[in-house]
Amino acid sequence: MRHVCEASNITEARALLNEHKIDVLICDIEMPGGTGLELVDWIREQNILTGTIMVTCHPEFSYVQKAIRQGCYDYILKPIDYEEFSRTLHEMTRKMEYYEDHMNGNEPDGSISWGNLDYSMKSVSRTEGQLQELKQVSEKRNVEKEVKQYVKDHLADDLNISRIAEIMHFNPQYLARTFKAETDQGILEYITTERIEAAKKLLVETNIPVKEIAALVGYQDYAYFTRVFKKETGISPKQYRK
């Protein structure tokens, strides 16, 4: 690798691809201004010869399937295993060099497809097998269950979508969107509901001071806790206890 370009969104990536001969694109699925899959669509429309490796926080099967069948060479999950990533990159570049050698020597090989750099049926089998493996991983992860369990175990912590996504190795936008689709409730809305329910239980079953209860369920600002509690229940915490 002689030169590395960086882009933080699709617009910058397109400009770099127009300006330079980019041999390898390492691209996230989620990015500002669109998705990595949309960028790959644009690359194919422009007939730009670039080998692509996608990276993402979560193996959403429909994305995996589209990425590989769209012509991406491989699909790497975050957190990235850099040994695996290195092997994938070297394998892809060797095949790209093989392709270029044949093209420069005017010896096109009918088995070569630049689209996904499949040079043999072995390569095709590998990507199809990978699709099935990633589908199984995706199906095993239950976003709703994982998020709810994490919130339940960390009510007193500073909970926000970015933090939960980081801990669980999800993309924040994907996590929020998937949880909403599965529960018809936003993550922040769910956190508030769980905190107030926990507070109600403590108010009824214990003699812990209300201010301490607020902290136990994640509200360091007592006045804010009181406002949220009243909004959710219609009465103040002290009235609820009585």
Q: How far is CA 121 from CA 57, 73, 103, 127, 223, in A?
A: 29, 14, 20, 10, 66
Q: Using the structure block, give the residue that is written with the tokens 């590998």.
A: 126
Q: Select the more confidently predicted residue: 73 or 116.
A: 73
Residue 105: predicted pLDDT: 62
Residue 78: predicted pLDDT: 75
For the CA atoms of 165, 171, 172, 177, the dihedral, rounded to the nearest 10 degrees, stands at -120
84-114 pLDDT per residue, tens: 788 888 888 888 887 777 666 655 444 444 4
Q: What share of the chain is helix, strand, coil (3-state, %, to 5)?
A: 60, 10, 30
* Assigned token pair, 9: 């969104």
Confidence of residue 163 (pLDDT cuts 50, 70, 90): confident
Considering only 20-24, 42-46, 148-152, 177-181, which range has the smallest mean pLDDT?
177-181
For the chain, the average pLDDT equals 81
Q: Which of 177, 178, 166 is nearest to 57 (CA)?
A: 166
Residue 132: predicted pLDDT: 55
Considering only 135-139, 141-145, 167-171, which range has the smallest mean pLDDT?
135-139
Average pLDDT over residues 195-218: 95
- Distance (Å, whole) CA 234 – CA 92: 61
Domains in the chain (CATH in brackets) are 10-140 (3.40.50.2300), 143-241 (1.10.10.60)
191-204 pLDDT per residue, tens: 999 999 999 999 99
Residue 131: predicted pLDDT: 54
